[in-house]
Amino acid sequence: MTSTLDITPIARALGAEISGVNLADDLSNAQFDEIHRAFLDHHVIFFRDQADLTPDAQKRFARRFGTLNVHPYVKGMDGHPELLEIIKEPEDKLNFGGGWHSDMSFLEEPALGSILYGVEIPAFGGDTLFANQIAAYEALSDGMKEMLGGLNAIHSASREYSAKGQSAQDRQSMQSEVAIDAPEFEHPVVRTHPETGRKGLYVNPAFTLRFAGMTKRESRPLLNFLFEHSRDERFTCRFRWSQNAVAFWDNRCCWHYALNDYQGQRRHMRRATVNGDRPR
């Protein structure tokens, strides 16, 4: 099959920019298959100059990959509950998505992926970092892999969406709720990707509380090692946003981090999140 898309890697570990397609169009099966393949190969893909990506068009593209999530703690966009408007006003000190994390790992069936659209981009700053958790796992010693293979971890929104959690802080343009009695779910520390069969680490600083069967104190040394290891620059890429750009990342094998380095400027993003399956 002759490719109609231009796919250009942006870093060794992960990430590729794709041109030659308008995501607002009714994509052919061949175009979708190319995008899907690039998504699995590169873990996060980027599209620029997507000026026609209305909320309806964004949802239509996202639904090619699965059903859409309605966030349990953050109010969705008016008329489009499946979409989050992630807005940081010039006077806001905290940003949503700051700190390394994997979206929605606090659910029993965490997100497959997130599709973020740049509605209004600051003149400087506001880049997003991504980290490949398959590469992070593969770089571990055989002994560490064997030990982690028998561990599960507890994930919950209780810390990040607590009264003092960063994600639940008051923002002028976003309505977040405090996660009172947020449930806990147990996921394997080493997750097998359901589409590629590759193994990757599946813990993250925002939502992983402890190892199953252990206390937080007992869990902390090994979790801290994994958190530090997983964000090593060898496993990362960095995306500089532009107006109407799109990033689509695989939450099953990626972390991401929205940098908060654009104080005094407005940043407005719109996110669709595709539902996933229970980690195995």
Annotated catalytic residues are 101, 103, 256, 271
Distance of CA 204 to the CA centre of its chain: 11
SS3 230: helix
Distances (CA, A) of 155 to 57, 106, 183: 32, 5, 9
Token pair of 175 as six digits = 């309505």
Residue at token pair 């806001």: 92
Q: Answer whether 269's CB lies under 8 Å from 143's CB.
A: no
Closest CA to 95 of 163, 158, 209, 173: 173
DSSP H or E segment with residue 249:
strand 246-250
> Where in 42-193 does DSSP place strands (E)?
44-47, 83-88, 111-120, 128-132, 152-156, 184-188, 190-192
Residue at token pair 């107006």: 243
